[in-house]
Copies of this chain bind each other. A is one copy, B any other.
Amino acid sequence: MYSFKGQYEHSIDEKGRISFPAKMRKLLSPSAQDRFVVVRGLEGCLYLYPENEWNNVEQALSQANNFTRSGRIAKRNFLRYAEDVSLDKQNRIAIPTDHITFAAIDSKAVFIGMGQYIEIWSPEKLKEADDNLDPDAFEEIFEQVMGGGSQTDVD
């Protein structure tokens, strides 16, 4: 099972194209065929789903209840800002202009592997988010995740 990880900063040309990190590309399942869906994410970043993963998202959304307010809102605001993108022959993706402005991306963008999907951040926004994270938080997170993780059968 693949899982995106790592962080890569790349520049974006004046046409909105960014080269997709090579290490991430190697994880792509052939069934995705270099096709993705970009969507507005939380905290001002973008989410990039490989096509096969996106199918799961769609399915989850289709089960959202249309007759509750939150179900409708979730569905509407997710799908309306979703667009197909794909890698070109030089392994770049062209991010739609709307999304670039939404994410406040200027000349650089940061890819962050999030397991099943990828986040794309403007470096400035990311830094802001980092600064708001208190310094001990990382340590806490660490203990939480690794503390349980490394001893195989402790929970």
Chain A interface (Cβ < 8 Å from any Cβ of B): 3-7, 23, 37, 41-43, 53, 56-62, 64, 66, 69, 72-84, 96, 98, 112-117, 119, 133, 137-139, 141-142, 144-146, 148-152
Contacts and interface: CB of A to CB of B under 8 A. Distances in A.
| Main SS class of interface, A | helix
B83 A6 contact: yes
10 contacts: A5-B80, A5-B84, A6-B82, A56-B150, A60-B148, A76-B114, A77-B137, A78-B142, A78-B145, A116-B151
Contacts of A69: 42
Contacts of A60: 145-146, 148-149
A67 B81 CA distance: 17
